Structure 1
Amino acid sequence: MNEVDQLGKLSVRNITTSLPFNKIDQAQIQLRVQDTKSINYVGLQLKTRFNVKQEGVLRVLTGCTMLPNGNLLIADYYGKNVLIEYNEDGKHIRDIPCSDSPFDLTVMDTERIAVTYANDVADDIEFLIIKNNTIEKKVNLNSICNGILCQDNKLFIVIEDGIVITDIAGKVLKQLIVDCDSCIGTTKDRINFTVKDDQTVHCISMTGEEILVRKEESLVHPSGITVDDHQNVFVVDRDSNSLIVIQHDGRSSITLLSETDGLVNPRSLHYNKDKKVFLLCDGNGCALYNLG
């Protein structure tokens, strides 16, 4: 370095080029299209199936979810006042005590879950800390609460008069006056629910505007609903013993599972986006499916 006078010469050149980004709206539309997928490419592969112990006169598995550690948490509405935890292989881990018979549940974060009881005796919603099985908070919405789902630090709860949206602390942010059944499914900008009286599946915006309605003649008593990464809607029907998928645009539907596949009174359904698996609970127990 002491003997070298110079290592090179530095120069700057200005080059004019054209980039195909003159229409920003088209670029945004292309991104949204990539977020959707035709149901013709949807397939389920059975991963595992296991029985759930019956602790009451009936076994009615009305709620299910997957914990961050991969374990499964199930609500038996006619069982004991507990949530039942299993691992992915179907091994019973523990029972988590509740104040009453749990109807539905959702994961809030790595430590907490929210539980509904679907009656006018217990508190409407409870936040449970699953590590030590303690009640962190009770939330009263002055209504019977059924299905519940947590997304983007908000809780979506089905009540008697529609859907309530709260923050993660249980403070009511908005109430949507809609006619819906007990189950609910959401994406980043949509809320999906069923109406059994007219055999329809509805999709609305987060502010309540109707996006689409799909009439499904095969639906007799829909009891569970969830949404995949491409906004395709999955619904289980407890009376027709079926699982159907409705395309994101509402134009078509396919029956994925039926009674011939072993479905008996399916009640609840959950899709885990991290693991790309479905958890389905029916009268016999639970099954995990890989989404193909």
Structure 2
Amino acid sequence: MTVEQGEKSKIEKLLSTLKTKEKEITEVQENISSIKQHASELQTFLTMKDIEKDIAVEEKFIQSITTSDYTNQVNISCQINKYLQQIAASVQKFGEINVSSDPCDFSIQKRKDRQAQIMVALPTRNIENLTLTLQKRINTELSEVNGCSLLPGYRMVFSSCTYSNDKIRVLKSDGSKDFEIKTIRRTSDVVFIGDDHIAVTSGNSNQINIINLKKQKLKKSIKVNSNNGGVVYKDGHLIYCAGEKGIQMISLNDETITNITNTKLPDDAYVTAFGDKLFYTNNTNDSVTCCDYHGNILWTFCEHSVLLTPLGISVDNDGHVFVAGYGTNNVVAISPDGQRYRQLLSSEDGPSAPWALHYDISTNELLVANRSDEAFLYDVK
């Protein structure tokens, strides 16, 4: 908080200085307008010479800002010591606060027409800047994986449905098995819902199961009026793909169900949420669709050259949409507006028939699960 307050003070100081300069430039503009209306040509000429000197000073100040460190984008991160469990014996400090800065992505355009004019473009991020670094390769020892999710404490959960041997398997951070549950039938997708609980959809079994991770057992089953496949958790609600009924939302508080869209979806459709938008896949027509919570379609992405049989879907903090391409053995990122795309991972990177994936917005990590045996954890920058 102390470091943040220091950086905030620097920003406020810069904004105050810019506000003062803006006021000075406005006064110059008003003086020019007044002179043109009331002064003689000689008075105008002499006064303009003085004003041009003032403008030159302001321009020099503006240009100096672009070459200084004041406009750098500041990133504050906390690196925690991994050996806190040995605190009594070896840890001398809990960690350290690092402040790094990246050049701010803006430009200044200058136009001399007896006045100074500033045009500033806000920094933008795009999918070309995304970088994935493999952290670990995980042997899930599962077949027919339908869903995956990252859990607090760097654990992972996978759902597997083989009809006769359905499983919910939780792995530790090192990839070893923590525990598994075999009593739930027709497991489909899985999502963390907070308070050490997960929700597991069940395909055509018309129920959603809530599992207590701490007690390692089923807490309750919620009856729904439709199939339920891909699922995402948002603000106390589960939003899930309901097959022929489209997309539905159920409140975990009172279990009321709301229809979001009636667009018929296949059994293996998946959904994710970002802000006031939903994104869902349709593997029958190889499409990814963005809609609002009223079901109004905002855009549809369909590019057969890069994405076939899209299944698992997730989204990062900037609205980039990550999609598992089962038919193309890849992972594709789509821009928030649906206009741009980029293949992030191919079969050469490990994905082989990838089915499920999950982006953790708190750690900026992406978990990608193949249909069988393997999963991959990536750090995303």
Please say if residues 36 and 248 of structure 1, whose CA atoms lie closer than 8 Å, have aligned partners that are also in contact.
no
How many residues are aligned here? 257
Q: Which residue of 136, 141, 144 corresponds with 1:53?
A: 141
In the other structure, the counterpart of 2:99 is: none
SS state of the match for residue 194, structure 2?
coil
Spell out structure 1 runs of 4+ moving beyond 4 A.
33-36
Please say if residues 36 and 230 of structure 1, whose CA atoms lie closer than 8 Å, have aligned partners that are also in contact.
no
Q: Which residue of 15, 37, 60 corresponds with 2:125?
A: 37
SS state of the match for residue 251, structure 1?
coil
Structure 1: gaps (5+ residues): 1-17, 21-32
The C-alpha deviation readout for 1:86-116, integer Å capped at 9, x for no partner, is 1222111111344214111111112221111
Q: Which residue of 264, 279, 283 corresponds with 2:352?
A: 264
Deviation at 1:204, TM superposition (A): 0.4
Please say if residues 272 and 314 of structure 2, whose CA atoms lie closer than 8 Å, have aligned partners that are also in contact.
yes
Please say if residues 324 and 355 of structure 2, whose CA atoms lie closer than 8 Å, have aligned partners that are also in contact.
yes
The amino acid that maps onto 1:153 is: G
SS state of the match for residue 173, structure 1?
strand
Q: Does 1:71 align with 2:155?
A: yes
Please say if residues 329 and 353 of structure 2, whose CA atoms lie closer than 8 Å, have aligned partners that are also in contact.
yes
In the other structure, the counterpart of 2:287 is: 200
Please say if residues 307 and 332 of structure 2, whose CA atoms lie closer than 8 Å, have aligned partners that are also in contact.
no
Cα distance in structure 2, aligned partners of 1:191 and 1:36 = 22
What are the within-5 Å matches in structure 2 for residues 87-236 of structure 1?
87-120=172-205, 123-160=206-243, 161-169=245-253, 170-181=255-266, 182-217=269-304, 218-236=306-324
Cα distance in structure 2, aligned partners of 1:98 and 1:191 = 32
The C-alpha deviation readout for 1:108-159, integer Å capped at 9, x for no partner, is 1122211111133xx5211121211333322222212111111111110111
SS state of the match for residue 264, structure 2?
coil
The amino acid that maps onto 1:103 is: S
Structure 2: gaps (5+ residues): 1-18, 23-120
The amino acid that maps onto 2:261 is: L
Please say if residues 332 and 341 of structure 2, whose CA atoms lie closer than 8 Å, have aligned partners that are also in contact.
yes
Please say if residues 260 and 295 of structure 2, whose CA atoms lie closer than 8 Å, have aligned partners that are also in contact.
no
In the other structure, the counterpart of 1:12 is: none
Please say if residues 181 and 217 of structure 2, whose CA atoms lie closer than 8 Å, have aligned partners that are also in contact.
no
The C-alpha deviation readout for 1:188-215, integer Å capped at 9, x for no partner, is 2110012233322110011211111122
Q: Which residue of 240, 251, 254 corresponds with 2:328?
A: 240
Cα distance in structure 1, aligned partners of 2:281 and 2:218 = 31
Please say if residues 196 and 219 of structure 1, whose CA atoms lie closer than 8 Å, have aligned partners that are also in contact.
no
TM-score by length of 1: 0.82
Distance 1:173 1:186, change over 3 A: same
SS state of the match for residue 235, structure 1?
strand
Distance 1:101 1:197, change over 3 A: closer
Cα distance in structure 1, aligned partners of 2:165 and 2:327 = 25
SS state of the match for residue 40, structure 1?
helix
Cα distance in structure 2, aligned partners of 1:251 and 1:152 = 28
In the other structure, the counterpart of 2:378 is: 289
Cα distance in structure 2, aligned partners of 1:36 and 1:112 = 36
TM-score by length of 2: 0.63
More helix by share: 2
Q: Give percent identity, aligned residues only.
A: 23
More strand by share: 1
